Amino acid sequence: MRFDIYEWGLRTFLRYKTWRRGERVGQDASGNVYYQDRKAAPGQRQRRWVVFNGGESEASRVPAEWHGWLHHQTNQVPSDDSPWRRPWQKEHSPNLTGTIAAYRPPGAIERGGHRAKATGDYEPWVPS
């Protein structure tokens, strides 16, 4: 039987890699699960990755404390009482670029293309 990753599916391949080589390290409040290699190759850093909890695999869904761990900025695994998590930080909101709900500033073509007139303190540059 011929192995074809495109028929098998990337998601299935990642599950297999995670089951075969991964060691579960932790989970964030959104349900994303973080892994690292059980053994690092000599002279190389240990690989780290995230398996997203349902929905789209979007990098902005990774909290700041786990982002630091994934990118080897710290070796300390974040926990619920993490010193990086502040009470004033907002919860994740999805990236709405390219959707109907995306932000469109005044004057944008999608909002009619009209913007407020310039106020009286505006003086255009005129070459002398």
In a domain, residue 114? The reply is: no
Helix (H) or strand (E) holding 19: helix 10-21
In a domain, residue 103? The reply is: yes
What pLDDT was estimated at residue 6?
54
**pTM assigned to the model:** 0.65
Tens-binned pLDDT, residue by residue, of the chain (128 aa): 455 555 557 667 777 778 888 899 999 888 899 999 888 778 888 899 998 887 777 888 888 889 999 999 988 888 766 666 778 877 777 788 888 889 888 888 888 877 777 777 778 899 98
What is the span of the domain harbouring residue 36?
A: 5-80+93-109
In a domain, residue 115? The reply is: no
- Picking from 28, 97, 24, the residue whose alpha carbon sits closest to that of residue 66 is 28
In a domain, residue 116? The reply is: no
In a domain, residue 104? The reply is: yes
Domains: count for the chain: 1
Residues 51-89 as b/e (b if ≥16 CB within 10 A, e otherwise) read beeeeeeeeebbbebbeebbeeeeeeebeeeeeeeeeee
Tokens describing residue 87: 């009470």
